[in-house]
């Protein structure tokens, strides 16, 4: 029973991290119809910024905030300088571009920070919570992770549902031409979309790093799993990203807990193929008519 | 032969124009002549280089074979695959399993064909699933494939686990030694023998790919890429076109995997990382989507670039790891710049230049009244008189794959 609880809790935390990463992908997909493969190495860069600050003796939470702001700036600059020219071009150009950025950022991080493993201090305690006599496998840091992702989701939903700015962003994403005619600054909205996504991506990077070891490739598995989570969810809806993340997190946790850690990728492939075979557009998409 | 070939020039055409139209009109002849020249070049080069360079050339060959298959899939049919390295793994593991013992006497050709066959079967399965998917969903599925397949190798002990499988490359057959001795005056080394095998495989695979691309099947693939609805209205079965493109590219990946196994002599999960798959896609794009020549050239650049950067780096006090990181960084930067500045890739640029030169030449020769030909060497217009020598030979290219493959927006 204890093993079951612990596996489930581990799955919850893992799922939340996948969800955060998938949220970042969904944000960018919604605003620019581009899948950002470079999301993970971008997060690696900002995490390293925070790590270097902490190692220099700066306050922990200051480093945390600076990393998020660095993500904001990085996302905005990237959209404005590199992504803008390929918007509206064939899909494959954007795919190759972000794959190229993936390589640039990752090897850039290796050149700047080296490939040595470094410890990143945890946000809060890393001891399991004690209930009665037993210690269960969830820590205060894990609670912070879960809380941070839920807060992000709530803030994003609030932004898109209830604010003027969110409405403009949705308009710019849905129909650039009409939105532009109605006075929305489409370019600025797209830049903002990338910037926000990069902040969420950085957050997921920090959450994964906290209390663990960091090296330039530490996000590599998250690239794939976060991506699968987003695709399962349908790439369109933030809620879908969270559901996809949790679904994947729980399944993978149970597979590695009860079967073998090496089967994780295979099971992920199985889940993805099953979902896509039944619903080629993911779980949370309305069926779309095809333009003729 | 394909249906839209131009008739060889009639009557008054000069000998040069006849040759030229033969070259343009019959892709099979063109491909076979190119292959023969290629084979001669391979023999000369392999005789000249040392063993280390021969190993590098082998690496270039198997990467180019896989990239050639992917060129057809992505460039011609518009399906993106981030998992072609995983398909190579199937071919490589099959070869390794068939040659797991020193005593095995199975002929090499049979082993390579079986490896291709196994990969084709896998390709059919994946292709059927992939045919339903579009854009990012297909990218996601193939990306997961690239991650998941090496894990299969790790999980099963029969596949060698983390260490992978060792295989025994059969001895060089006596007749091969004899021919090599006759040609070069020395016995061939093992690595040169494997390099030769890989390059012969490359030539065979590329002849087949080039012919497919310029055949009716290739035009169907391109039609599906350019406009699904129009293709379907024209009676093309979309699923069949997509699956067949996937299967053909899987076959090429299988052959590449077999060569990989023969060259590396160990086949393990580390050899088929995500990096390999991404590299293949990068080669295809940078070479110019749809260009087989570009795929070969870029494979060479990719294999030899780290070495060059390392040589430069050792002058500038860089250690080996730093230098290889710098090589990767350079490669990524080039990818980004190419997409931003020259989205049609290397061969796209070369073709544009060639077309401009050719149309300039044609413009000088034909009187302006015959129109069209002076602007650019575009697709044949139905009004062009096939017997009019200059227009057929110089400008009106048949739709046989020698026309530039534009990267039109594919599926939604």
Q: Which residues of B touch A224 (CB under 8 A)?
A: 143-144, 147, 274
Q: How much is the pTM? A: 0.77
| Domain map (residue ranges) of chain B | 29-279
Is B407 within 8 Å of chain A by CB?
yes
pLDDT of residue B318: 61
Cβ of A269 within 8 Å of Cβ of B147? The answer is: yes
Q: Which residue is listed with tokens 């209930």?
A: A131
Quote the CA–CA distance of B377 and B46 in Å, as a whole number.
38
pLDDT of residue B90: 93
Task: Name beta bridge partners: A129.
Answer: A136
Query: A259-279: per-residue pLDDT in tens?
Result: 877 788 888 888 888 888 788
Interface contacts A/B by beta carbons within 8 Å: 139
Pick from A93-97, A268-272, A287-291, B170-174: least confident: A287-291
| Number of C-beta neighbours around residue B194 at 10 A | 23
Q: Which residues of A touch B412 (CB under 8 A)?
A: 290-291
Shortest Cα distance, chain A CAs vs residue B403, angstroms: 19
| Domain map (residue ranges) of chain A | 15-128+136-219
CA-closest candidate to residue A94, choices B215, B340, B212: B340
Task: Name beta bridge partners: A136.
Answer: A129
Find the mean pLDDT for residues A27-46: 86
Chain A, residues 74-103, CB within 8 A of chain B, namely 82, 85-86, 89-93, 95-97, 99-103
Across chain A, what does the average pLDDT equal? 83
Find the mean pLDDT for residues A95-108: 87
Half-sphere exposure (Cβ direction) of B253: Cα atoms closer than 13 Å: 32
Cβ of B136 within 8 Å of Cβ of A235? The answer is: yes
What ipTM was assigned to the predicted interfaces of this complex? 0.81
Pick from A42-56, A243-257, B3-17, B251-265: least confident: B3-17
pLDDT of residue B412: 37
Cβ of B335 within 8 Å of Cβ of A99? The answer is: yes
Tens place of pLDDT per residue across chain B (412 aa):
444 444 444 445 567 677 677 666 777 788 888 888 888 888 888 877 888 888 889 999 999 999 999 999 988 888 888 889 999 999 999 998 888 877 767 788 888 999 999 999 999 988 888 887 877 788 888 888 888 888 888 888 778 777 888 888 777 777 777 777 777 666 677 788 888 889 999 999 999 999 998 889 999 998 988 888 888 888 888 888 989 999 999 999 999 999 999 888 888 888 888 878 888 888 888 887 778 888 898 888 888 877 777 777 666 666 667 777 777 788 788 888 888 887 776 667 777 777 777 777 776 655 544 444 433 333 343 333 333 333 333 333 344 434 344 444 433 3
Three-class HEC string of chain B = CCCCCCCCCCCCCCHHHHHHHHHHHCHHHHHHHHHHHHHHHHHHHHHHCCHHHHHHHHHHHHHHHHHHHHHHHHHHCCCCCCCHHHHHHHHHHHHHHHCCCCCCCCCHHHHHHHHHHHHHHHHHHHHHHHHCCCHHHHHHHHHHHHHHHHHHHHHCHHHCCCCCEECCCCCCCHHHHHHHHHHHCCCCCHHHHHHHHHHHHHHHHHHHHHHHHCCHHHHHHHHHHHCHHHHHHCCCCHHHHHHHHHHHHHHHHHHHHHHHHHHHCEECHHHHCHHHHHHHHHHHHHCCCCCHHHHHHHHHHHHHHHHHHHHHHHHCCCCHHHHHHHHHHHHHHHHHHHHHHCCCHHHHHHHHHHHHHHHHHHHHHCCHHHHHHHCCCCCCCCCCCCCCHHHHHHHCCCCCCCCCCCCCCCCC
pLDDT of residue B377: 38
CA A126 centroid distance within chain:
23
pLDDT band at A46 (very low <50, low <70, confident <90, very high): very high
Shortest Cα distance, chain B CAs vs residue A13, angstroms: 22
Cβ of A103 within 8 Å of Cβ of B274? The answer is: no
Q: Which residues of B touch A85 (CB under 8 A)?
A: 340
Cβ of A227 within 8 Å of Cβ of B143? The answer is: yes
Quote the CA–CA distance of B198 and B258 in Å, as a whole number.
9
Three-class HEC string of chain A = CHHHHHHHHHHHHHHHHHHHHHHHHHHHHHHHCCCCCCHHHHHHHHHHHHHHHHHCCCCHHHHHHHHHHHHHHHHHHHHHHHHHHHCCCCHHHHHHHHHHHHHHHHHHHHHHHCCCCEECCCCCCCCEEEECCEEEEEEHHHHHHHHHHHHHHHHHHHHHHHCHHHHHHHHHHHCHHHHHHCCCCHHHHHHHHHHHHHHHHHHHHHHHHCCCEECCCCCHHHHHHHHHHHHHHCCCCHHHHHHHHHHHHHHHHHHHHHCCHHHHHHHHHHHHHHHHHHCCCCCCCCCCCCCC
Shortest Cα distance, chain B CAs vs residue A104, angstroms: 5
Half-sphere exposure (Cβ direction) of B218: Cα atoms closer than 13 Å: 25
pLDDT band at A128 (very low <50, low <70, confident <90, very high): low
Torsion sign across C-alpha atoms B205, B208, B210, B216 = negative
Quote the CA–CA distance of B72 and B284 in Å, as a whole number.
9
> What does residue A213 show for φ and ψ, rounded to 5 degrees?
-100, 145
Cβ of B141 within 8 Å of Cβ of A272? The answer is: yes
Cβ of A111 within 8 Å of Cβ of B322? The answer is: yes
Chain B, residues 27-86, CB within 8 A of chain A, namely 74, 78, 80
CA-closest candidate to residue A6, choices A197, A256, A223, A198: A256
pLDDT score of A214 more than 60: yes
Query: A137-150: per-residue pLDDT in tens?
Result: 677 778 888 888 88
CA A28 centroid distance within chain:
11
pLDDT band at A76 (very low <50, low <70, confident <90, very high): very high
Burial of B109 (0-12, 13-18, 19+ CB in 10 A): exposed
Cβ of A108 within 8 Å of Cβ of B74? The answer is: no
| Number of C-beta neighbours around residue B197 at 10 A | 22
Interface test with B, best of A99, A111, A225, A264 (most B CBs within 10 A): A99
The residue in chain B having the minimum alpha-carbon distance to the alpha carbon of residue A103 is: B332
Is B326 within 8 Å of chain A by CB?
yes
pLDDT of residue B1: 40
Cα dihedral: B125, B127, B129, B131 (round 10): -160
């Amino acid at each position: 029973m204890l093993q079951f609880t612990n596996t489930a809790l581990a799955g919850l935390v893992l799922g939340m991290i996948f969800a955060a990463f998938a949220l970042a992908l969904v944000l960018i997909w919604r605003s620019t119809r581009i899948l950002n493969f470079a999301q993970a190495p971008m997060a690696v860069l900002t995490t390293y910024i925070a790590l270097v600050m902490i190692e220099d003796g700066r306050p922990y939470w200051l480093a945390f905030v600076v990393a998020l702001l660095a993500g904001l700036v990085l996302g905005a600059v990237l959209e404005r300088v590199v992504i803008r020219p390929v918007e509206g071009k064939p899909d494959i150009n954007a795919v190759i571009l972000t794959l190229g950025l993936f390589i640039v950022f990752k090897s850039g991080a290796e050149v700047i920070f080296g490939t040595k493993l470094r410890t990143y201090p945890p946000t809060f305690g890393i001891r399991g919570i004690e209930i009665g006599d037993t210690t269960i496998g969830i820590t205060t840091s894990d609670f912070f992770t879960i809380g941070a992702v839920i807060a992000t989701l709530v803030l994003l939903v609030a932004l898109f549902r209830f604010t003027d700015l969110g409405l403009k962003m949705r308009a710019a994403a849905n129909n650039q031409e009409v939105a532009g005619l109605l006075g929305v600054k489409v370019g600025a909205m797209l830049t903002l979309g990338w910037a926000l996504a990069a902040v969420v991506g950085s957050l997921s990077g920090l959450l994964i790093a906290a209390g663990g070891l960091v090296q330039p490739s530490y996000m590599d598995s998250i690239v794939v799993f976060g991506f699968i989570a987003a695709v399962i969810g349908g790439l369109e809806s933030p809620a879908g990203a969270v559901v996809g993340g949790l679904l994947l997190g729980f399944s993978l946790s149970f597979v590695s807990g009860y079967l073998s850690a090496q089967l994780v990728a295979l099971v992920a492939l199985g889940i993805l193929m099953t979902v896509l075979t039944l619903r080629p557009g993911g779980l949370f998409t309305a069926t779309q008519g095809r333009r003729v | 032969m394909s249906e839209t070939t131009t008739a060889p020039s009639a009557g008054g055409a000069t000998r040069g124009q006849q040759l030229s139209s033969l070259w343009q009109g019959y892709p099979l002849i063109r491909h076979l002549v190119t292959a023969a020249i290629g084979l001669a070049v391979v023999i000369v080069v392999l005789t000249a280089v040392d063993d280390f360079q021969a190993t590098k050339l082998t690496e270039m060959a198997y990467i180019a074979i896989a990239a050639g298959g992917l060129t057809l899939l992505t460039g011609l049919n518009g399906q993106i695959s981030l998992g072609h390295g995983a398909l190579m793994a199937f071919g490589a593991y099959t070869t390794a399993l068939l040659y797991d013992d020193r005593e095995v006497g199975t002929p090499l050709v049979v082993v390579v064909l079986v490896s291709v066959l196994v990969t084709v079967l896998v390709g059919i399965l994946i292709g059927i699933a992939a045919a339903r998917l579009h854009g990012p969903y297909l990218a996601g599925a193939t990306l997961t494939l690239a991650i998941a397949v090496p894990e299969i190798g790790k999980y099963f002990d029969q596949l060698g686990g983390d260490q992978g499988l060792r295989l025994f490359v059969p001895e060089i057959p006596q007749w091969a030694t004899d021919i090599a001795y006759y040609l070069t005056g020395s016995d061939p080394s093992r690595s040169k023998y494997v390099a030769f095998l890989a390059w012969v495989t490359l030539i065979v695979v590329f002849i087949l790919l080039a012919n497919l691309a310029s055949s009716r099947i290739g035009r169907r693939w391109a039609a599906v890429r350019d406009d699904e609805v129009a293709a379907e209205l024209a009676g093309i079965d979309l699923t069949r076109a997509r699956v067949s493109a996937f299967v053909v590219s899987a076959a090429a990946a299988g052959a590449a995997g077999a060569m990989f196994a023969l060259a590396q002599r160990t086949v393990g999960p580390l050899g088929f990382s995500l990096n390999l798959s991404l590299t293949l896609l990068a080669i295809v794009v940078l070479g110019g989507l749809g260009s087989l020549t570009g795929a070969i050239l870029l494979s060479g650049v990719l294999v030899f670039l780290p070495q060059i950067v390392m040589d430069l780096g050792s002058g500038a006090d860089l250690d080996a790891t730093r230098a290889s990181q710098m090589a990767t960084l350079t490669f990524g930067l080039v990818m980004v710049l190419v997409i931003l500045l020259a989205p049609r890739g290397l061969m796209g640029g070369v073709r544009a230049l060639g077309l401009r030169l050719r149309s300039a030449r044609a413009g000088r020769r034909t009187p302006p009244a015959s129109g069209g030909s002076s602007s650019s060497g575009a697709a044949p217009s139905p009004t062009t008189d096939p017997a009019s020598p200059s227009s057929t030979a110089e400008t009106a290219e048949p739709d046989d794959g020698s026309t530039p493959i534009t990267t039109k927006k594919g599926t939604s």
